[in-house]
Every structure is written in C-alpha cells, then in structure tokens.
Structure 1
Amino acid sequence: MKKLIATGLLAFTASSGMFGGHAARAADVEDRLVRSRAVEAVIWSMPAISIREFVQASFKDYGATWNDVILWSKPALPRHEFLTANNQVPYMLTAINLRGGPVVVEIPAAGEKAVLFGSFVDNWQAPIVDVGPSGEDEGKGGKYLFLPPGYSEPTPEGYISVRMQGYMVAGGLRPVPANGGTAQDAHAYAQQVKVYPLADAAAPKPTRFIDGYPKPFHSLPVYDSSWFRELAAFVNDEPVRERDKVMIGMLSSIGIERGRPFEPDAKLQRELDSAIADARSLMENYFVTPGRALTPWWPDSQWNAFSPDALKKANGFTYETNDALWLDARAGGLFYWATFASKKLGAGTFYLMGLRDSAGKLLDGRSTYRLRVPAEVPAREFWSAIVYDADTKAFVCGGPCEHADNAVGLSSFNKPDMKQNADGSVDIYFAPTAPAGFEKNWVTTAGKNFFLIFRLYGPEKPFFDRSWKLPDVERVQ
C-alpha cells in the first residue's frame, strides 16, 4: 500500500510539473498571440483608420462639421499633409454622417470652363460612387442620395440612390479647369456643389464652404498607440459586416470589444506599441517589393501601375472578392500610401508609380535625378510629376512642414516657364539643390528618400496601347 501511495504521489508530482510547464508555455504563446493579432488588426483596419483620421483632421484643423465642404482656394502645399496628394489642382472634401438619415450631394453639370472629378468612399475607404464626367452623372450633374444602412423607406424620384453599409461617407473631389478655363473658374464652379439632409430638400440651408489653403492640415495616419483607441471607437461607432466578424472576435485578445471601454494595462500597451511598428514595416515592405502590388507598365520599365493580379484582388478597390477579403493587398498595396481611390481606374486619371531609377535602385534623396518628359503626352487635361517623402507618403517638406512652401512637383501647366529641349521635351530634376540653369525645372527632395507619381489627367489611347512611353528616371549625380 505504501508503495502504491508513493508511486501515486510521484505520478501526481510529475503531472503537476507537466501542467505547470504547459501553463508557462501557454502564457508565452498567449503573449505572442496578442502581438500577432495586434499586427493583423492594424493591417486589417488600415483603410478605415486612415479615412477616420482624415475626417477628424478636417474637424480639428478647420473647425468643419458634417456636410461642410472644405474647398482649397489654391493647390495644396507641403503644410497640407495628405497621402500622395496632387498639388496642381485644388481639392474639395466633405464628410457625411448618415446616422441622422439620408443626405443629398448635388453635383453640378460639367461647365464650359471647369469639370469635377472625384469619388465618395465608405467607412472602409472603398470607393462607392464616382462623380462628374467619369461618374454616374456622366458630367450632366445630378443629386446623389446617400442612404444609411438598413434604410427601407421609399426613395424619391430624380435622385441617384447610393446605399451604404456604414454611417460615415467621405468625398474627395477636384475641380479641374477645362477648355482654357482658369483656376478661378474652377473654384467658382466648385461652389455650386450642395450638401444637405434629404429631410431639408424642400428648402436646404446653404452649404458651408471653408477655405483649406491658409492653414496646415494634419491628415496622415499616426502610427502610435492612438491607432488602437481609434480602432476601438470605430468598432463601436459602425455596423459590423459579415466579412469582418472573425476579426472583430479576435480583437478581444487586444482589449477591443463592442460595448466595452478600451483600457489596456501597461503590459498590453507595450505589446501594442511594438505591434504598430511591426505592422508599418510589413506594409512598407509590401509597398516597395516589386511585383506585389505594382508591375511595370512597359516592358523593362521602372514605371509601375497596378498588376492584373492586384486589380483582381482590388475588385473596384473594395478588396472583397468571391474568394477572400485581401487584407495585405488592401493595406500595403494601396491605403498605406493613398486615399480616395476612384471606382473606375483610368477613367479620369491614371497614376504611374516611380520608386526606382533606371538601374533599379530605390530613389535616394541625396542624389540628383533627371526625368525627360516627351514633348507630347497623351493626356487631354494635363500631366504632373510629384515628389513624395518615402517615410510619410506626403509632400516633401523643404523645412518645417507647418511653414514649408516649396514646390513639390511640376506639370504641363509649368512647361512654358521651364527650359525646354530642341524637340520640345523637358528635363525635370529631383535633387536636394537645383542644377545650375535649371531652377525652373527642379523639384527639391530636401535630402529625403522619395518616390514619384506621374499622373495623366484624361489619359488617351496611345497611353493605354503602350505606343507612347515615359522614359525612366536617371541618376545623374
């Protein structure tokens, strides 16, 4: 009996040690799981948090509120911190909250001297509807009626109805001069836009316009612990979609649950701080790795556009297909570096991404580079070449961004002032300092690593059939 008892105690002791080992191992695995799920949460939520912070910046920096329109009186400067913005045409932005019911946005018909291009996106930054000549109104103008989730009331006639799955809607538009029109013509034309609740349609109040040009704008995503506070607020503010239920369930591992306050303890906070840095590194790697999101537009070219596989996964930039919700492609492939994708790619504008020089090396802010733009570019409206800070994905600041007013790009609008070659082509230089005699052809890099976007507004057939080609950027010093 004593022997049996001793054997039993020995077995129990060994068993207890075994259970203790499992507990220690499980605790370690759980810590790593928290870190992993926090990284995934950032990548998953990238487009939602980016557009949420964009809208909140308009409220904080400009004193705007829902249904106001922020209309820049002049093109943006480095103090206006957008992801990969254009500095050649002023922007107009509006944000709508559908919790109070349907909201109407009136888009004017294309004018003789100006037109509107742009898109409205949902709370996940998926483009829902384009407006203007390349949009649903086809340049004829129209009343877009945005309907909240689950709206079942009859909709009145004469509207372009747009059913939403979330409450927040954001519009990013560009009034573009046309037919010899001026920037002033485009600015006046843009003020014909109206935003108001459907309930006020019989007698809508005048839309409030705010000039975004004089003040700085801080709309860039912030990669620190505030990300998770914003994510917790988003989860509580917006409806949960069927596709996101698994991720919503896993968020409880990092302290985020619907209906509960987000209060991370010190240990969890350390994991979240580390996870946000890891997530950003992963998205950056996805962005710069050839062939993942971008592929050469021409054979043996360093100018890139979305690859066929990337466009298939993008599926109208919703990134939701019959097979999957493509989180990495949605984050690192687009919304990590851009906002307000259009629903119809290439209808109004086309972007060429330049991350490398002709030798295939990433662009270095300390070197001098040259881009030769041919005399003829197949763009009905205009073309532009703009420099972006590789770190922020915003304009390069030639000094403190709050006050920087350096040129960040050049376009066909600037061509008359630039030194031109005998064949009508122009050489644009990207460097810390201007090459002698080419001051008007120069865009500063301020010594910062950078990338380029070459835009064609109104791209034409020679671009799409590849019979026209843009030379690679060459390192000259």
Structure 2
Amino acid sequence: MMKLSKKLIALTLISSTFTNYSHAEPQVPANITTPDIVKTQAVGDLHFKDGYPSDETMSKVQRYMLIQRAVNVFTDGIQISSMQAIQTGLASMGAESNKVIPISESFLDSNSLWLTGNTSTPYALFSVDVKDGPIVMDLKTPVLGFIDDAFFQYVGDIGVGNPKDAGKGAKYIVVHESYKGKLPADHIVLKTPTYKHWVAFRYGDTKQIQQFKDTFKMYRLGEESTKVKYMDISGVKMNTVHANNEDFYHELNEMIQYEPVTSGDPHYRGLLAKIGIEKGKPFNPQGEYLEALKEAAGIANVHARTEAFRPSNKEAYFYGDKRNWFLPFGSTMSHEFIKDGKLYIDDRTAFHYVATGITPLMTMKFDGQGSSYLMTTTDDKGEALDGNEVYTVTLPPNPPMKRFWSFMAYDNQSRSILPTQQRSGGFDSQGDVVMNDDGSVTVTFSSTKPKGESNWVQTLPNKGFFLLYRMYSPTMEWHDRKYMIGDLIKQ
C-alpha cells in the first residue's frame, strides 16, 4: 500500500471536516441581546437596527452620560471645589500662601461666609503651598490644629493632637511626596500628594493668640529669616463657600490645573476628563455642552443638599428614631468615610456640603478630650426649622463634658453663621446660663427675644435655618449616647 504524506493526510482531514459541516443557528439567550427599541424614563425611546444604534440614540445616550458623569464629578468632588473656594477667599483678602496668617482675634461672625464656622473659639485659618519646596512651621503654642491637602484629605495633626507634640511644641515640615532633598531629622514630617493645603488652628482662648504671634514661625526650608504677617479677619466680609451652579466646575478646574497630575484618584480624574476637565487643557464649555453641565449641577446640588439636610443613611441619627439629631460625619465616624470595607459616598458628600476640616480627632471617642458634633434641620415633628416660629430645646442636667457645650444657628442657603443682630450666632455654656430648677437648661430660638429670656439664639423671619450642637471635651457618657438632648419643640 502506498504511504500518504503527513501533509496530504492533514489536507484530507480538513476537506472532510468542511464537507461534513452543517450550518445551524446558535442558541442566543435573549438577555445578551439589545431589542430594536429600548424604552427608558430617563431619555425616552432608544432605537437600534439589529443591535446597531441610530444617530439619535447615540446623541441621546452621549448627553445622558455627560450629565451623569458631571453629577458624579460634582457630588464626589465637593471637597475639592470647597478647598478651592477657601483658597480663593483667603487670596481675596491678601492672605498669601506661606506668608500671611488670618486669625479671628474677636471670633468669626456672619460677615464671613464659612461653612458652619463658629463663634465659641478663635481660629487661625491659612494656606500652605509646597509647590516650590518644603514649608517649615515652628510651633510653640499649644493649639489644636490640622492640615488638609488640596483634595481635602487629611495630612496630619498639628499641636495638641499630634502625639510627638502633645502641646509641648515642635517643628513641622510639610513636603510634597516627590521631594528628593534631605529633611531635618528633628522635624515632624508631613508628606503630601498635593501642593496647596489648608491649615486650621484652634486656640483655647484669646489669650493664646498673642503668645502664638510672638513665637510662631513659618518659612520655606532654608529660609528661616522669613517673617510671616498676621491678619485679623473678625468682621471681614469674605466668601469661602463653593458654587452650587455650573461655576462649580470652573472652581474644580482651577484646582486641577494647579495640582500635579499624579494627585487624586485615577477613576475620578477619568470622570473629570469625560466632562472636559483635564490638566493642561482649556475648559470652556459652550452651547449644548454648557447646558448639560447646568442641568448636572442642578441635580447634583439637590442631591448633596438633600443628603446633608435629610440623611438617607438612618444610621447617621445619633439617637436612632428617638431624636432628630444626626452626625454630620454620617454613621461611619471615620474621617475617610470608610466602614466595613466600603466608602460611604453620600455621607462624604453630605459632610463636605456643610462643613470643612478633616482630621481623625473629629471622629475618635476620647474620654474628656476632643469634640463632638450633632446637627438638626427639623423640630420634634420632623418639620423644617423656620425663622418665623419660636422653638425651645432642653438639655438634661449635668452635660457630660469637661469644657463647654454650644448651639450655633446657620443659614440654610449659605450653611454659614445666620446673619442676625446677635453677633455670636448662638449660645454656649461659657456665658451666663440660666438653669431650670432641676438643673436642666432650656434654650429658646426665635427672631425676637422673649421677655426675660437669657438663654436665647436669634433667628430671622422668613428664613430657614439649622443647628449644630457641639460638645467640647465630652466624656464617655456622651459617646455611649446615655445623655440625650431634646429635639426642638415649636411653641
């Protein structure tokens, strides 16, 4: 028998395979296909030709995705735009980074728009920029302070809250993570992924301010002779609150253009790029593009405001369903808003919509140290607080704290101190508190002062407001939620 070559055998097999092949329609599951018409509430009917999108469908979906991504850019980037607004506000007063330190020597007031600022303690609020090299802060006064980066992420505690300082004083050096030079061994190093930063110092009382000004130094590394200037911002008109319309995206773009491309989350930067915000490229939305951003900003602002004023996360309510007071940080009690391995996105959005400043000290449970905050936007019936009404709230006897408690009223719109004739904007236990016979304290909230009333916070007619209740140096009884303050009751 004649032997066949391997090549001939292979060709024969291939020929046989094709000869015996019979065509059959594959069994395609319906759930992996796209029908010719997809009906949606968001964008209407979407048309396809055997899976191929029509021009109209492509246009509808592209606009929808632009709005959706712009909404996410807004809600996930409030903290960045807020930081830019703070930087712009400070610069508008001539408070140049690294050179000028604004201090509320006579406390903050309603002339300045700061997200939930307070009038109970004096602050130094200033900008640090490490783009041109590390910045040294030589601190000798026992302040409670922190530094946050350009994306409002925590960098470090300064002063009493830093265990290497603990109020004794120390030299700090803020340095960008890309810096390769030698750093002083005796400095507390605060490495950061961004150039711009915001620093907040809280003083125990006004007496510490002069001591601070006499001893504090801030300079670029190697330029110790540099002198800083101080600026009293009490009573100064300024705005540090971010925009809630399409201007928001321009504030965001300004920060993105300044900061290194390596800073921030790559996924978020991808979202930014999809709506036209990209480092090194112009951002000038026009026409339909601008209209889409206006719509997105409207939706995003409503979402942020709703989460901030009426939290969907019911775990944020401090006393559960027994009271209407809730935690601005949400239920995570984390400065990163992370719990059980997940990021609570809406909690983060809500916090940055009404507040500034991120440090773990705000969320830790210390016995007789630190501070704690509760917020309410409604009375005991769940109705929005209204400046036309009169409300009272009662604190049970013996509030569990080592320093003092404070109520502050804020304008619903600006989330800043309510602009009334009462300069303090609130009432706290450092003043003349009149107690009830059982040792409890009742505070009244109304537009005009009731006759003979001492414990009073002024509101404004025809103006919605909300409250923050602060406990300074609370004890574990507070953290364990055994002490329960009352809701506001309409009189």
- TM-score, normalised to structure 2, is 0.82
The reply to whether residue 460 of structure 1 matches residue 475 of structure 2 is yes
Deviations 1:214-256 (CA, angstroms, capped at 9, x unpaired) = 4212111112232212222222221345862223223333222
Deviation at 1:336, TM superposition (A): 0.9
Match of 2:19 in 1: none
Write the mapping of 1:244-393 to structure 2, written as runs, cut at 5 A: 244-287=265-308, 288-291=310-313, 294-297=316-319, 300-305=322-327, 309-311=331-333, 314=334, 317-319=335-337, 323=341, 326-332=344-350, 334-344=351-361, 345-346=363-364, 347-393=369-415
SS class of match (1:379): coil
Larger relative contact order (C-alpha < 8 A, sep ≥ 6)? 1
Match of 2:248 in 1: 227
More deviation in 429-438 or 322-331?
Answer: 322-331
Structure 1: distance between partners of 2:110 and 2:426: 11
Deviation at 1:323, TM superposition (A): 5.0
Query: Whose Rg is larger?
Result: 2
Deviation at 1:75, TM superposition (A): 1.1
More deviation in 231-240 or 18-27?
Answer: 18-27
> Of 125, 131, 134, which aligns to 2:158?
131
Deviation at 1:377, TM superposition (A): 2.1
Match of 2:258 in 1: 237
Match of 1:33 in 2: 65
SS class of match (1:106): strand
Deviation at 1:283, TM superposition (A): 0.8
Match of 1:413 in 2: 430
Deviation at 1:318, TM superposition (A): 3.0
Structure 2: distance between partners of 1:93 and 1:406: 20
More deviation in 429-438 or 48-57?
Answer: 429-438
> Does the C-alpha gap of structure 1 residues 473 and 159 become closer, same or farther in structure 2, counting only changes over 3 Å?
same
Q: How many residues align?
A: 437
Q: Which runs of 5 or more structure 2 residues have no equivalent in the other structure?
A: 1-46
Deviations 1:118-176 (CA, angstroms, capped at 9, x unpaired) = 21111111222122323332111111111113123232121111110111111011111
SS class of match (1:339): coil
SS class of match (1:459): coil
Match of 2:125 in 1: 93
Using the aligned pairs only, state the percent identity: 22
SS class of match (2:225): coil
SS class of match (1:302): coil
Deviation at 1:88, TM superposition (A): 1.3
> Does the C-alpha gap of structure 1 residues 118 and 293 become closer, same or farther in structure 2, counting only changes over 3 Å?
farther
Residue identity matched to 1:127: Y
More deviation in 96-105 or 225-234?
Answer: 225-234
Structure 1: distance between partners of 2:260 and 2:338: 17
> Does the C-alpha gap of structure 1 residues 208 and 220 become closer, same or farther in structure 2, counting only changes over 3 Å?
same
Residue identity matched to 1:432: S
Match of 2:42 in 1: none
Match of 1:12 in 2: none
Match of 1:120 in 2: 147
Residue identity matched to 2:358: A
CA contact (8 A) 1:295 1:304 kept: yes
The reply to whether residue 165 of structure 1 matches residue 193 of structure 2 is yes
> Of 82, 86, 96, which aligns to 1:50?
82
Query: Which protein has the bigger helix share?
Result: 1
Structure 1: distance between partners of 2:450 and 2:389: 12
More deviation in 136-145 or 20-29?
Answer: 20-29
The RMSD of aligned alpha carbons is 2.6
